[in-house]
Amino acid sequence: METMTEKDMMLSGQLYSAEDLQLLRELNATKDVIYLYNSLVPSQTEERLAILKGLLGHIGDDSIIINQPFYCDYGKQISVGRHFFANFNFTVLDEAKVTIGDNCFIGPNVSIYTACHSTDPVERNQRKEWAEPVTIGDNVWIGGGAIILPGVTIGKNTTIGAGSVVTKDIPDNVVAAGNPCRVIRKL
């Protein structure tokens, strides 16, 4: 039986070493690409799109805008649908799959995290971690400054209020906000 690599373990949600040399090389290669993307003049839309097509795992169509600066860890675990827009300082820690549906709008300073760390300091200092996927449905608007935590699913046609910390799944067709984020009203 073939032994799993640390990357295989990361992608399957198992405990893995964040200090693995292969993973560190991939992180640095992605940082180089992100540096180039963020260094482009904003009007260089074709060049920006070409970089995103090479960086992200999937893009629904060419009508994708991610304002600079943009940050991610690997890129390949990120999938965005058609007509996607993300404003300034969009950050995605994509150790696990991040799936974003069609017609989604992301406000400025939004962060999506998939990496998980132990609350036990001895375990955490061993640089072992795991990752949990994030899924965002179609027609979702995430207000500025929101934070989406690992393992969360946000349903379709939902609005997440600015500054929210989404710690648990949010259903379809609602407005939700707060810290922790909770449903305020149904649509």
CB 24 within 8 A of CB 7: no
Angle made by CA atoms 153, 155, 158, in degrees to the nearest 5: 125
Residue type at 16 in one-letter notation? Y
As given in the structure block, the two tokens for residue 13 are 């949600």
Is position 117 annotated as part of the catalytic site? yes
Residue type at 105 in one-letter notation? F
Annotated catalytic residue: which of 25, 53, 117, 127? 117
Q: Is the peptide bond prior to 171 cis by the omega test (within 30 degrees of 0)?
A: no
How many other C-beta atoms lie within 10 A of the C-beta of residue 117? 13
83 by Cβ neighbours in 10 Å (0-12 / 13-18 / 19+) ranks as middle
3-state DSSP percent of the chain in helix, strand and coil, to 5: 20, 30, 45
Residues with catalytic annotation?
Answer: 117
